[in-house]
Copies of this chain bind each other. A is one copy, B any other.
C-alpha cells in the first residue's frame, strides 16, 4: 500500500497569517499522498464575540447552541478552510476543502445530554472514504474542517482530533497511514519544562507506566489513548510533534 500522511493542526497555527504561511510551505513539501485536518477555535471565539454571542467551554469543548453552530460553520467550513485551500493551491498543492457533510464523508449523531448539554456537537458514527480514496489516489489533497453532519440536514460541531483519528482509521484500509498530531510542544516530554526531553518512541506499556509515575498527565493522556486506539485500528504510526517540525521525522512516535 502507498503511504498517506495525515496532519492535524490546531487553531492557532492556521489562524495567524505568518504561521499559516510557514505551515503551508512545510506541508506542501511533504512527499506522497497527504491530507490536512484543521481547527479554528480562536477565530470562532473572536467572531462570536463580535456578534455578541458568548462562548462557553466545558472541559475544553465548546458548548454549541444554534447561533454558535452558525459561527463555527462559517469560520471552520468557510473562512479557515478556504484560506488554507487557496494557500495550498498557491503552493501547487491540489487541495480540496471538505466537511463531514460533503460526499457524506463523516456522519455523526448529536451528543446525548448527560451531565452536560454540549448542544450541536456530533459524535462520529460512520466514515465513508470511497470517493476520498479515489481523489487522493489521483493527487487531490483533502483539507478537512472539524464539522460533521447527521444525514438529517444538520451540520454538527466535531473535535478536530477526533476527525483526524476517525479519518485515519477509515483510510488505513487503503493506505499505510502516518497520523501526525501537531501541538505547541515538540513531542511527549519526559520533563515538561525541558523542550529537549522529547520521548522518541512510546509503546503502550511505557505509556501506562509514565502515566502512573505522573510524567505524562493532563490533556496528553486522552491524546495518547486515542493514538493507541488508532494504532490498534490499523493506522501504521502516530506522531506527536510541533507544527514547525512536520515532515522532519521528529517528535514522539507512538507504536
Binds B, one of A110-118, A152-160, A234-242: A152-160
- A contacts with B, residue count (CB < 8 A): 42
Chain B residue with Cβ nearest A90: B153
List of B residues within 8 angstroms of A99 by Cβ: 82, 85, 97
What separation, in Å, do the CA atoms of A154 and B86 have in the docked complex?
Answer: 6
Binds B, one of A101-109, A202-210, A225-233: A101-109
List of B residues within 8 angstroms of A152 by Cβ: 90
With beta carbons under 8 angstroms apart, the residue of B86, B104, B151, B155 that contacts A101 is: B86
A140 within 8 A of B: yes
B155 and A83: CB pair below 8 A? yes
What separation, in Å, do the CA atoms of A154 and B73 have in the docked complex?
Answer: 20
With beta carbons under 8 angstroms apart, the residue of B81, B87, B155 that contacts A86 is: B155
Q: Given A83-B73, A102-B96, A102-B97, decide whether A151 and B89 contact each other with a Cβ distance below 8 A.
A: yes
A85 and B101: CB pair below 8 A? yes
What separation, in Å, do the CA atoms of A70 and B90 have in the docked complex?
Answer: 18
List of B residues within 8 angstroms of A75 by Cβ: 74, 78
What separation, in Å, do the CA atoms of A137 and B91 have in the docked complex?
Answer: 29
With beta carbons under 8 angstroms apart, the residue of B51, B74, B94, B131 that contacts A104 is: B94
A193 within 8 A of B: no
Q: Given A82-B155, A131-B135, decide whether A89 and B101 contact each other with a Cβ distance below 8 A.
A: yes
Chain A interface SS verdict (over half) = helix
What separation, in Å, do the CA atoms of A73 and B84 have in the docked complex?
Answer: 12
List of B residues within 8 angstroms of A140 by Cβ: 103, 131
What separation, in Å, do the CA atoms of A166 and B102 have in the docked complex?
Answer: 23
What separation, in Å, do the CA atoms of A89 and B102 have in the docked complex?
Answer: 8
Shortest distance from the beta carbon of A196 to any chain B beta carbon, whole Å:
35
List of B residues within 8 angstroms of A147 by Cβ: 82
List of B residues within 8 angstroms of A95 by Cβ: 101-103
Which of A148-179 touch B at CB < 8 Å?
Answer: 149-155
A59 within 8 A of B: no
List of B residues within 8 angstroms of A81 by Cβ: 77-78
14 further A-B pairs in the complex, CB-CB below 8 A; given A87-B153, A94-B103: A51-B51, A74-B79, A77-B77, A77-B97, A78-B78, A78-B81, A86-B101, A86-B150, A89-B101, A89-B153, A96-B102, A96-B131, A97-B102, A134-B134
